[in-house]
Amino acid sequence: MTAEPHPIRVVFVEDDEDVRAGSAQALELAGFAVQGFESVEAARPFVAAGMPAVVVSDVRLPGTSGVEWQAELRRLDAELPVVLITGHGDIAMAVQAMREGAYDFIEKPCSSEQLAAVVRRAADKRQLALEVASLKRQLESWPGIQAALLGRSAAMQRVRALVRTLAAAPADVVLYGETGTGKDLVARCLHEHSARRQAHFVPVNCAGLPESLVDSEIFGHEAGAFTGATRRRIGKFEYAHGGTLFLDEIEGMPLTVQAKLLRALQDRSIERLGSNQPVPVDCRVIAASKEDLRLASEQGRFRSDLYYRLGVAFIALPPLRERREDIPLLFEHFVLQAARRYELPAALVTSEILTVLMAHTWPGNVRELRNVADRYVLGLMGEEQARLLGESAPASSLPEQLEQIERVLVSEGLRRAHGDVGATALGLGIAKQTLYDKLKRLRLDAATYRAGE
């Protein structure tokens, strides 16, 4: 999504009133908004770092000179273009000012065309600088996605790439994933890295509401719409105006409410219960489901027209058992979080514990792993370890299980050694060449851990 251009204005400082008025008129005819001032002292309060502006100033002024102000502005915002207007005797001074950061200088007298041309170039430079700064801020937000959606596995890298792509897009999104895979977290990431992040993120658990209340919760109602409706209620859809509506477990939404949701998505407006007045609503809809909505629609349990209306973009979240190499990183992260929450020391995560964690099937996915980390910090891992071993019954063969465990232990060794192969081999107690062979067989790249992904 391309940001709208910043309207560049001109701050013009000239103590000669006639020259100031004539120059301002010439610049206004060239399409610029101009603020004229008779001195630096008068103009100073109207200039700030990062503002979309160009400063044009005479060199010789009562009080602070144009050259002195240029040095001051350089410290305030090094990329703010300053154009100096000089008399014949001040050219050497202006050239020195350019060496010290001024954008350009114009010698008096100058034509309107010359003044407008120099200011236009300065404005284009400022426009570019502001767009670059905006892009840099946008790129700096991506580590937030990486920090929220942890994992080095290829599956999680794909998820993060999709979130980056779709966050800036206005399209509705459907998230698929088992319970505990982080659908709510992904939905929040999509919202927080979108242009709608300043507005509300409104989650609704469609399966957790009584059928009699779903319609009212989502679309709202007017006073007197039904027994007990003593006053108007704004529904979740309307409350999400300008932001994001997150419909979790949408497969549990009653078919009657699905029909109303379809109409709301088509018209981008809703009607509260008890009202015939449409209310325009501009919000992005993110739906999440534990099951395939297309299959549910074919079986008559979900409206096919609603499925195709929602089904613009899809993100499938992998279960934890399919990205076991992420378990050490996730578990250590949750242990640190739990230690802070309970104000207890973070216990060392041993290879023995990792082996137990790797052998478990994790039916509760990341949510279950977080709970285990809490119990680990609370000193309850003895009982927990026995439970995990007792419940673990991987469907994969023994060689496959051993390879998964080996991949996790090698990955964890690389992470702790920041990708240093020699240090990793020493920590694992194996020869360096043996580790190289394992990296090749397990398809692991030490450089990924040095770069921090």
- Among 91-105, 187-201, 368-382, the least confident range: 91-105
What amino acid occupies position 41? E
What are the pLDDT digits (tens) for 234-288? 999 999 999 999 999 999 998 888 999 999 999 999 999 888 899 999 999 999 9
Same domain, 304 and 360: no
Q: CA 177, 183, 189 angle in degrees (round to 5)?
A: 140
The reply to whether 2 falls in a domain is: no
Residues 347 and 438 in one domain: yes
The average pLDDT across 71-100 equals 85
* Lowest mean per-residue pLDDT among 209-213, 216-220, 384-388: 384-388
Co-location of 117 and 182 in the same domain: no
Q: Which amino acid is at 376?
A: Y
Q: How far apart are CA 171 and CA 382, in angstroms?
A: 47
Q: Answer whether residue 5 shows pLDDT above 50.
A: no
Structure tokens at 392: 């673990």
Which whole-number Å values give the CA distances from 259 to 233, 300, 305, 369, 445, in the listed order?
Answer: 21, 13, 9, 38, 50
Among 108, 138, 168, give the residue marking a domain's end: 138
Which pLDDT score is estimated for 405? Answer: 74
Give the tokens for residue 180.
Answer: 């505990």
In a domain, 3, yes or no: no
Let me know if residue 1 belongs to a domain: no
- Give the pLDDT band of residue 6 (cuts 50, 70, 90): low
For residue 391, what pLDDT band results from cuts at 50, 70 and 90?
A: low
Spell out the residues 6+ positions from residue 403 whose beta carbon is closer than 8 angstroms to its own. Answer: 442
Q: How far apart are CA 331 and CA 370, in angstroms?
A: 7
Distances 397 to 205, 213, 403, 404 between C-alpha atoms, Å: 38, 48, 10, 11
Q: Are residues 73 and 193 in the same domain?
A: no
CB atoms within 10 A of CB 411: 24
Write the DSSP string, 278-299. Answer: -EE---EEEEEESS-HHHHHHT
290: number of Cβ within 10 Å: 16
* Residue 214 backbone phi and psi in degrees, to 5: -60, -50
Looking at 105, 138, 171, which one is the last position of a domain? 138
352: which residues sit within 8 A by CB, 6+ positions away? none
- Does the pLDDT of residue 42 top 60, yes or no? yes
At residue 425, the pLDDT reads 87
What pLDDT score does 251 carry? 94
Claim to verify: residue 31 and residue 95 sit in the same structural domain: yes
Same domain, 129 and 148: no
Mean pLDDT of the chain: 86
Mean pLDDT highest for which of 192-206, 215-229, 427-441? 192-206
CB hemisphere CA count around 432 (13 angstroms)? 5
Domain assignment present for residue 85? The answer is yes
Same domain for 166 and 313? yes
8 A C-beta contact, residue 231 and residue 278: no
Whether 302 and 259 map to the same domain: the answer is yes
Per-residue model confidence (pLDDT) at position 82: 94
Q: Are residues 331 and 404 in the same domain?
A: yes
> Of 138, 163, 191, which residue is a domain's last?
138
Question: Is residue 355 in some structural domain?
Answer: yes
C-beta of residue 353 within 8 angstroms of C-beta of residue 385: yes
Query: The CATH number of the domain where 222 resides is what?
Result: 3.40.50.300
Instruction: Collapse the DSSP code of 396 into the 3-class scheme (helix H, G, I; strand E, B; otherwise coil) and give the result.
Output: coil
8 Å CB contact between 310 and 287: yes
Tokens of 226: 């039904």
pLDDT score for 392 = 52
Tokens of 21: 């008025």
Angle at 264 between CA 258 and CA 265, to 5 degrees: 90
pLDDT at position 129 is: 75
The pLDDT of residue 393 is above 50: no
Digit-coded pLDDT (tens) for 158-203: 999 999 999 988 889 999 999 999 999 999 999 999 999 999 999 9
266 CB burial (10 A radius; 0-12, 13-18, 19+): exposed
Find out whether 221 and 229 touch, Cβ atoms under 8 Å: yes
What's the total number of domains in the chain?
Answer: 3
Indicate if 215 and 291 belong to the same structural domain: yes
Token pair of 311 as six digits: 């089904």
- List the structure tokens of 211: 């059928």
pLDDT at 139: 45
Instruction: Judge if 394 and 311 occupy the same domain.
Output: no
Please report which residue ranges of 169-242 form alpha helices under DSSP H: 183-192, 211-219, 236-239
Residue % of the chain over a pLDDT of 70: 90
Q: Measured between alpha carbons, how far is residue 348 from residues 239, 341, 351, 377 in Å?
A: 45, 17, 10, 10
Is residue 4 one of the residues assigned to a domain? Answer: no
Between 141 and 329, the more confident residue is: 329
Instruction: Answer with the residue of higher pLDDT: 451 or 339.
Output: 339
Confidence of residue 210 (pLDDT cuts 50, 70, 90): confident
Give domain status of residue 43, yes or no: yes
Q: How far is CA 336 from the centre of its chain?
A: 23
Give yes or no: residues 342 and 330 share one domain: yes
CA distance 357 to 131: 47
Q: Which residues pair with 176 in a beta bridge?
A: 289, 316
Rg over alpha carbons for the chain, rounded to the nearest Å, is 31
Helices (H), ranges, 208-252:
211-219, 236-239
pLDDT band for 4, please (50, 70, 90 cuts). Answer: very low
pLDDT of residue 1: 32
Range of the domain at 85: 9-138
For residue 63, the model assigns a pLDDT of 93
Confidence band, pLDDT 50/70/90 cuts, at residue 145: confident
Nearest C-alpha neighbor of 154 from the set 418, 411, 399:
411
Within a domain: residue 60?
Answer: yes
